[in-house]
Amino acid sequence: MFGGILARRENGEDIATLNEYEIPSFDLVIVDLYPFEKTLASTKVESEIIEKIDIGGVSLIRAAAKNYKDVLVCSNRESYTELHTLLAASNCISTIEDRKRFAAKAFGDTSHYDGAIFSYFNQSENIPELRLSFSSKKTLRYGENPHQNASFYGELSGLFNQIHGKELSYNNLLDVDGALGLLAEFKELLLLL
């Protein structure tokens, strides 16, 4: 299977190998990884968690993304609509730009997946490394200055319950951080939080 994914169409030796061993080539690879993070959220049973570490799926995604010049890879369900729209609009032909964009997403997906696995194992090992990956972001009203863009990576809605007012800006988040830092200096008040 990997031969058909990794074969470079412009490489005569690769094509000869495909022909010699009757290996079909692949133009499209779609893989959904085992739901590792969902499993973490639903159980503490180590054997169930370990079982949801995908090996083959990650390998297929990486192989297809590596050969983006010839293969289009779709590595998560959130990209299905984009993939369908692309293929429907182009008579099932993708451009090198399309394939490279999907490859970048694929490497992002596998990186995020590996980061979640690392974090799980590192809970007990305390390896002095920081690896963060957030698949969700919230665009803020503006950055430090009104003409600048800003985003918050993570689940902002889990930290705040905004009751009214405009959308948050970067400066608003800095103000909240500063206020919490000031409160932390008063141990008696922290007991109330």
The pLDDT value given to residue 117: 95
User: Same domain for 142 and 47?
Assistant: no
Q: CATH number of the domain at 15, please.
A: 3.40.50.1380
Looking at per-residue pLDDT, the higher value among 28 and 132 belongs to 28
Q: Are the C-beta atoms of residues 115 and 133 closer than 8 Å to each other?
A: yes
Residue 106 lies in a domain: yes
Residue 131 lies in a domain: no
Q: What is the pLDDT of residues 130-179, one digit of tens each?
A: 777 777 788 999 999 999 999 988 888 888 788 888 888 999 999 988 98
Distance CA 159, CA 140 (A): 15
Give residues with Cβ within 8 angstroms of 170, minimum separation 6. 140, 142, 143, 144, 148, 150
Distance CA 143, CA 172 (A): 10
Which range marks the domain in which residue 20 is found?
2-125
User: Same domain for 76 and 160?
Assistant: no
**Average pLDDT of the chain, as a whole number:** 91
Residue 149 lies in a domain: yes
User: Same domain for 43 and 90?
Assistant: yes
Q: What is the pLDDT of residues 84-137, one digit of tens each?
A: 999 999 999 999 999 999 999 999 999 999 999 999 999 988 888 877 777 778
Write down which residue in 125, 152, 184 finishes a domain.
Answer: 125
User: Same domain for 188 and 160?
Assistant: yes
Counting the structural domains of the chain, the total is 2
87 burial via Cβ count (<10 Å: 0-12, 13-18, 19+)? middle
Mean pLDDT of 28-42: 96
15 burial via Cβ count (<10 Å: 0-12, 13-18, 19+)? middle
In angstroms and rounded to an integer, the radius of gyration of the C-alpha atoms of the chain is 23
User: Same domain for 115 and 183?
Assistant: no
User: Same domain for 109 and 23?
Assistant: yes
Q: With 90 as the cut, is the pLDDT of residue 12 above it?
A: yes
User: Same domain for 143 and 120?
Assistant: no
Q: Is the pTM of this model over 0.85?
A: no
User: Same domain for 120 and 62?
Assistant: yes
The C-alpha angle 115, 65, 130, rounded to 5 degrees, equals 15
Residue 75 lies in a domain: yes
Q: With 80 as the cut, is the pLDDT of residue 187 above it?
A: no
Residue 150 lies in a domain: yes
User: Same domain for 115 and 164?
Assistant: no
User: Same domain for 110 and 143?
Assistant: no
Q: Is the dihedral of CA 184, 185, 188, 189 positive or negative?
A: negative
Q: With 90 as the cut, is the pLDDT of residue 72 above it?
A: yes
User: Same domain for 176 and 121?
Assistant: no
82 HSE (CA, 13 A, CB side): 14
Q: With 70 as the cut, is the pLDDT of residue 189 above it?
A: no
The pLDDT value given to residue 163: 87
Where in 77-192 does DSSP place strands (E)? 137-139, 151-153
User: Same domain for 79 and 141?
Assistant: no
